[in-house]
Structure 1
Amino acid sequence: MAARPALPPTVYLLGLTIFSLVTAEFMVAGMLPALSEAFSVSLAQVGNLIAFYALGMAVGGPPVTVVLLALRVGHKAALVGLLALYVAAGVMAALAESYPVLAWARVIMGVTSATCIGLCMTVCAGLVAPQVRGRAVSVVLAGLMLSPVAGVPLTTWVQQHFGWRASGWLVVLLALLCTWLAAWRLPASPAGSAPPLREQLRALNNRRLWAAYSTSGLIIGATFAAFSYCAPILIDVVGVKPAQVAPLLALYGVANVLGNMVVGRVADRHTLGAQGWGLALLVLALAALALVSGPQWLSLVCFVAIGLTGVALNPAMVARVMNAAEPGALVNTLHTTVITTGLAFGSWAGGWVIDAGFGLRAPLWVGAGMALLGLLSLCPAWITAAQRPPCADAL
């Protein structure tokens, strides 16, 4: 049997780039109390900083991608330029003296991040042969999986020892490194090498694609309705000490990686099954964590179970989108946009129920409800699959 071809080092660079972008997006979850105190705002308002980042991704990503496609800008030039803008916004966030300035910086970071992630996926697909494209994409997406394992706990630890601004500068330096490496190592992509805008827009006229998008948005929204407030939930509901939050976030990230490995093995052949079982477990874990008031270990088991699903279902989400349409820059960016729209809504809804006086268990119920909607959203696809031969299961 011939050995599988090695992936080019640039694929790992793209994974590192996504790692830096996702770490910056989610780092707020591990430092809610500190930011609340620093800016004299509520926990819900700090949680909204995640939603603002996601909102920037949702609203700004597609228009920026359309403009780049219309101008026929090469993928490398677009990625390096947007990463440079991202670094500038990160500096603005690290220097922020007021909550509105920090919020606007997060929006700008989100706008550039959405297009960068879509471009990373598209550049990756062009770097490797079609027969290893799935493996290469999984390496790039590992950056997303590893950010809860290493990135978020690291920024939480840095904040606890050196302050929240130090965490901000850390992600700026990482993004700056990725910008420099992308400019140096990525092969030049000639202007106009991407499929025309009209062709990419035509690919969006696809019901299966939008059904896949919808489920993806609900999965991530359900997860981050709870995860956005995990620090106060762990401290005030579960009863752990503040110093234990960073290790528990690392454990949650390890669960993400393990779940991703399992889902990645079955996603291509059993896409709907992976999403269905994952969503069912997510509903049960979120509801159980909201209900449990007994042993601390049982609450922590529920917390880890949430990590095994949610973001870990990403290979199944991507496989379903890739089965529905050719994954060009616009399709990838819109998938990112839909996901982050769900994230923004979930994070906002979790904060709203806290502000409304329903307590810190309420975001868990919001997440359970969104996960249940995600499970129900699979019903039409299941019905269609049941009417087809078994080999058509991966929708």
Structure 2
Amino acid sequence: MTGAVEPGAATIPPWVYLLSATIFLITTAEFMVAGLMPSLAAAFAVSVGKIGNLIALFALGMTFGGPLVIALLLRLGVPNKDALLWLLGVFLIGSTLAAMAPSYAVMALARTLQGVTSAACFGIGLTLCAESVRADLRGRAASLVLAGLMIAPVVGVPAAALINDLFGWRASFWLIVGLTALCIAVVGPTIPRPARGTQVDLASGLAELRNTRLWAAYATSGLIIGATFAAFSYVTAIFTAVTGLAPRLIPIVLAAYGVATVIGNLIVGRLADRHTIPVLAIGLVVLAAALASFAAVPTDAAVSVAAFLVIGLTGVSLNPAMVARVMRVAHPGPLVNSLHTSVITGGLAFGTWLGGLAIDRGYGLAAPLWIGAGLAVLGLLSLAPRRARDLTA
């Protein structure tokens, strides 16, 4: 395919699924360290806690580096498709460095480089997706792209852990290298260039950031993800130490949660364009109720597992509505989308930190669930001013 994308297409082009595969690859790379912790700790002779920092470094790279890279690319006037190829090239370098890492310091550098480029890839990918369809299909198209994010924890991360068990941790990282190279080879001839006039320059992108409605949308997104990960980050400990689930059941529950996020993402994607604010409002009410129910009776296995699955159906699954709202209140350029990714990543880190702080202060393992419920309520309140003016936003 060599022609330009005509903005306002009435159908979602097939190459959007390639963007979904790219997001799947990036998300797998981000979280697969969780399944490789013992192997990496032994290989680099460091604590498991330090290996956990490799996930944090990736997230920090996304949060702070992504928008800066996008701003540089806009300043240089690099077209979005070319920018995606360049970013995947740098991600390939970071992945290769990780696979060959002789020390923890080199691995930390590689993970940071991966994180910086991945946030920018998210932003460019969502922009290419938004430019390819009519405005009323952007939420649905985004849900297809973000399906890669939902599927990665269910398929990609366990696959990386299995490869680690069979062939060692380097093989898992070399798999990421190979898949990244394949993505680059396929993206070039498959994804068309946007139609002339759709590219946004740095000045226009910065001008969009003065939009107060955009920052309100960002706040809602950060609170949704913060609420979800305040609970999710500690759910294994809660299920085993408080609920009393057998450790062998945890992978099954987590897999069911992953399936719930995929289903929720597809449902929200269908509704997000026409009912953006109502979907976010109802989703936050359900999310807060599920978190509060889990927190109120964490010792009841049936209630706890059911509430956890409902968190999967809402929570992260509200991403298409979050993206649709941002794309509605501002031009969906790469800087706007990349910064949205950074805010979401920041919300994840904030919710996880706040939950850990509550545990450290002696409020118990169930405390992060109450914190998640509180953040969900704040997310609902963040919708109130806009909801009062226009329920159809």
Partners of 1:94 and 1:238 in 2: how far apart? 38
Q: Secondary structure, in 3 states, of the residue corresponding to 1:9?
A: coil
Offset of residue 183 of structure 1: 2.7
Offset of residue 216 of structure 1: 0.3
Change (3 A) 1:99 1:258: same
Offset of residue 117 of structure 1: 0.8
Q: Secondary structure, in 3 states, of the residue corresponding to 1:303?
A: helix
1:393 matches 2:388? no
Amino acid paired to 1:41? S
Amino acid paired to 1:393? L
Q: Secondary structure, in 3 states, of the residue corresponding to 1:368?
A: helix
The residue aligned with 1:347 is 352
TM-score, normalization: structure 1? 0.85
1:41 matches 2:39? no
Partners of 1:238 and 1:98 in 2: how far apart? 39
Shifted more, 129-138 versus 80-89: the winner is 129-138
Whether contact under 8 Å (1:48, 1:347) holds in the other structure is no
The residue aligned with 2:230 is 225
Shifted more, 362-371 versus 51-60: the winner is 362-371
Change (3 A) 1:265 1:135: closer
Deviations 1:181-220 (A, max 9, x none): 1134233569996222212222222111110011101111
Offset of residue 310 of structure 1: 0.9
Unaligned ranges ≥5, structure 2: 1-8
Offset of residue 320 of structure 1: 1.2
Alignment match of 2:264 (pick from 253, 259, 262): 259
Unaligned ranges ≥5, structure 1: 386-391
Matches within 5 A, 1:11-50: 11-30=16-35, 40-41=46-47, 43=49, 46-50=51-55
Q: May I ask how many residue pairs the two structures share in their alignment?
A: 384
Amino acid paired to 2:392? A
Partners of 1:92 and 1:136 in 2: how far apart? 33
The residue aligned with 1:125 is 130
Alignment match of 1:249 (pick from 249, 254, 265): 254
Change (3 A) 1:176 1:361: farther
Whether contact under 8 Å (2:11, 2:133) holds in the other structure is no
Offset of residue 244 of structure 1: 4.1
Q: Secondary structure, in 3 states, of the residue corresponding to 2:332?
A: coil
Partners of 1:361 and 1:327 in 2: how far apart? 38
1:141 matches 2:146? yes
Offset of residue 125 of structure 1: 3.0
Partners of 1:353 and 1:24 in 2: how far apart? 29
Alignment match of 2:63 (pick from 58, 63, 81): 58
Change (3 A) 1:212 1:6: closer
Alignment match of 1:370 (pick from 366, 371, 375): 375
The residue aligned with 1:388 is none
Shifted more, 214-223 versus 83-92: the winner is 83-92
Matches within 5 A, 1:148-163: 148-159=153-164, 163=168
The residue aligned with 1:389 is none
TM-score, normalization: structure 2? 0.85
Whether contact under 8 Å (1:158, 1:166) holds in the other structure is yes
The residue aligned with 1:181 is 186
Whether contact under 8 Å (1:69, 1:194) holds in the other structure is no
